[in-house]
Structure 1
């Protein structure tokens, strides 16, 4: 009733609630004139985010190439080379952690939980210095240190920081600021993976949890403008190549079901492992830089043993999507990357979870595919097809965003004829996660970030 007294145009009538008068909507910035200005602001946010995220992606690629060359050089110099590699990883990771702890704590981790908290109104937008700390810290941790983290988290949070700056300069309302923050996040994800549709869908499905027209317009416009600006710099082709895959057959359904069950279980375990790792970090008395240095040193040892095992893992995902590998080796890689991903995120440096999820999901699907070919060579789906299915299903199990998982897998590979088995596996993986009462990873991380901010 108090709300009705404050806004009499909300009072009910015999036909329901009255629609607000045009003047009231326009005063709130929702009229046609306000919408045009809002859309232009979203275009600007997307364009600036696309430029920022594209240069970050290029710099990360360059840093990764530098790390690979250093690794090759170190492996040719015995114990001295190992010491150099381990020390370099420790220094880079500790430097990234120091930037976060001493300059901008909100820049830690994926950044998506902080963006989600801002969009929900549970946290303030933060300071603009999140952007340079996220940029530099991500290059140090992922590019220099080789942590098993992804570029998409930093790109998403840098997009939200761009939105805060644009909203401040253009003097947009607080409600518009939240929507523009979400729009910047969409542009960041679109640029990180060359996936403009997935960027928009993820924000609407996971962050906003709404397809309200105003939010949808801002998100899709920013995602499109960000992709358009970034494309000349990073290209517009899908990030991964998948060989031509045969159309799915009903006889392959049991194997698709198996992928859904396994990725669902693995996703639940992964979420719990990440939160457990963070709990140990939050209760530790050791300085953040020391913990990060130890983690960076461990990653350096792994890089010495296998350079392709560290970093975001795009090469591992690509090999899986080509159907390449042997089951024992893949199981080892799967276990190592699972542990390495949890350990890397516990360093509290800038870095995302998407790319590590893609590695785990595609590896899991490929293992099932290779077993299926041995057990039922005449009816089993192609291993590469099940790797693609596993990629989408594992993402769904961890994030609880099946539509984003389907769209992301499709845009990442350009493959469209596996949508039906992906849909089935995503449904099963989601069912497993819900039955086991596993909450979405970003909801868990958002609760943690909010609780720490209050404390």
Structure 2
């Protein structure tokens, strides 16, 4: 069932549909690339100013984790408290005075795929600002929304059909993802696998072109760099067997994380409670960050440490528990953001724990290798995008293609486990509740 149009304005048809589609495809790629680049520069600029590191060079060799660790504990609390104020007041005002938001998935199914321009831009900027200040949620939704709102507007102006407009809105989202993370193939596959559910030519060509153009445009401001600098890693028999054995564990953990965040987001307030809960939530995160600066941000820091092999089992376990808790609490408080990089970090941290225990009995694989495989499996299951997750992690890290074997084993096991949990856990919960109710009546 499609979503109702946000406007009654009649749609005009293009005189030359093919030329109009080509024009919109090119402009969407360019616009999404510029949007992703500007959002990334804004994010880096706020990070550097908030935590006072490398302030003379917005794009520098010093990472966010290094900058946060170098800041005083008191400064972390102050910045996170400010984050709570921005998040709480910002989203409360948006919900109160802005037009109702339309998600990308809703737009792709709508009779009029346009999204409200001003509200969507404000929503995206709030995500970027709060993640820059230390929110544990992901920043990838913001550039996707900017790309989609642009694509929807261009498609309407060019007179594309509803079907073409839906495809272009999805392509705008993929192009935004490609731009901000420099993942042209990952952006295109995300469109085809996740948003449209087809690899047909009508979707394939614009998805590939928009993502490639966006990534190229963004490189002018962000450089041709990948997200994680991973040391040389090798595949061993121990790692392959571990991938087969532990893949289902990552799927079950991803299902639990997905259910937790889904419920937290569904229960988030949109009234006066939002600023109150948001301020309290982020102030508590700031206190935790006094001792665990790795918690701040979208999860890139912990994931990078895991890929480098710079985490102990104990620290990885502690960070994993805290990351899950603060991610859910931030959504429950009303903050918005993605779950791509948080999911990647959770998988990497869980892999350090499971891999460390495995190595006690069968050594031979590095902790970084475990983290690469685990991060991919968890991301694939938690976001229901196995192909996209594999492509993204390989573009994020540029690891050897030898890792395809253990990664695919783990992703396959995680996907099966996730679907088994989604199918059988509710049944078991219902059965258990029914039996308890019957036992209660018998007594």
TM range (shorter): 0.7 to 0.9
1:268 is aligned to 255
2:353 is aligned to 367
* Equivalent in 90, 94, 97 of residue 88 of structure 2: 94
* Equivalent in 386, 394, 397 of residue 410 of structure 1: 394
Q: Aligned partners of 1:308 and 1:65: how far apart in 2?
A: 16
Q: Give 1:105 shift.
A: 6.2
CA contact (8 A) 2:137 2:342 kept: yes
1:303 is aligned to 289
Q: Give 1:74 shift.
A: 7.5
Correspondence list, 1:204-283, <5 A = 204-246=192-234, 248-281=235-268
1:119 is aligned to 108
Deviates more, 1:172-181 or 1:286-295: 286-295
**TM-score, with normalisation over the residues of structure 1?**
0.81
* Equivalent in 293, 317, 320 of residue 279 of structure 2: 293
- Aligned residue pairs: how many? 398
2:58 is aligned to none
Matched, 1:343 2:329: yes
Q: Aligned partners of 2:77 and 2:388: how far apart in 1?
A: 42
* Equivalent in 310, 313, 325 of residue 311 of structure 2: 325
* Equivalent in 127, 132, 135 of residue 143 of structure 1: 132
Q: Aligned partners of 1:408 and 1:83: how far apart in 2?
A: 33
Q: Aligned partners of 2:289 and 2:73: how far apart in 1?
A: 13
Q: Give 1:158 shift.
A: 1.1
CA contact (8 A) 1:96 1:350 kept: no
Correspondence list, 1:197-208, <5 A = 197-208=185-196
Structure 1 residues 63 and 244, CA gap change in structure 2 (3 angstroms): same
CA contact (8 A) 2:240 2:405 kept: no
Q: Aligned partners of 1:205 and 1:291: how far apart in 2?
A: 36
Q: Give 1:334 shift.
A: 0.5
Q: Aligned partners of 1:264 and 1:86: how far apart in 2?
A: 32
Superimposed CA distance per residue, residues 39-69 of structure 1 (whole angstroms, 9 cap, x where no aligned partner): 2211111110110111101111221222333
CA contact (8 A) 1:94 1:296 kept: no
2:413 is aligned to 428
* Equivalent in 185, 203, 209 of residue 173 of structure 2: 185
Matched, 1:334 2:320: yes
SS class of match (1:281): coil
Q: Aligned partners of 1:250 and 1:300: how far apart in 2?
A: 42
CA contact (8 A) 2:136 2:330 kept: yes
Q: Aligned partners of 1:323 and 1:208: how far apart in 2?
A: 37
1:450 is aligned to none
Q: Aligned partners of 1:230 and 1:52: how far apart in 2?
A: 8
**TM-score, with normalisation over the residues of structure 2?**
0.83
1:13 is aligned to none
Q: Aligned partners of 2:273 and 2:303: how far apart in 1?
A: 34
1:156 is aligned to 144
SS class of match (1:236): coil
Q: Give 1:85 shift.
A: 4.3
After TM superposition, where is structure 1 displaced by more than 6 Å over at least 4 residues in a row?
A: 70-74
Superimposed CA distance per residue, residues 241-284 of structure 1 (whole angstroms, 9 cap, x where no aligned partner): 111112x34443331123312211110100110122123325x8
Structure 1 residues 173 and 304, CA gap change in structure 2 (3 angstroms): same
Superimposed CA distance per residue, residues 377-428 of structure 1 (whole angstroms, 9 cap, x where no aligned partner): 2xx3221111011111001111221111110110001112201110000000
Unpaired stretches in structure 1, ≥5 consecutive residues:
1-26, 440-455
2:37 is aligned to 54
* Equivalent in 157, 164, 171 of residue 169 of structure 1: 157
Q: Aligned partners of 2:319 and 2:37: how far apart in 1?
A: 29
Structure 1 residues 215 and 411, CA gap change in structure 2 (3 angstroms): same
Matched, 1:134 2:123: yes
Deviates more, 1:250-259 or 1:203-212: 250-259
Structure 1 residues 188 and 347, CA gap change in structure 2 (3 angstroms): farther
Unpaired stretches in structure 2, ≥5 consecutive residues:
1-11, 54-67, 425-443
Superimposed CA distance per residue, residues 341-370 of structure 1 (whole angstroms, 9 cap, x where no aligned partner): 112223333421111111101111222222
Matched, 1:390 2:378: no
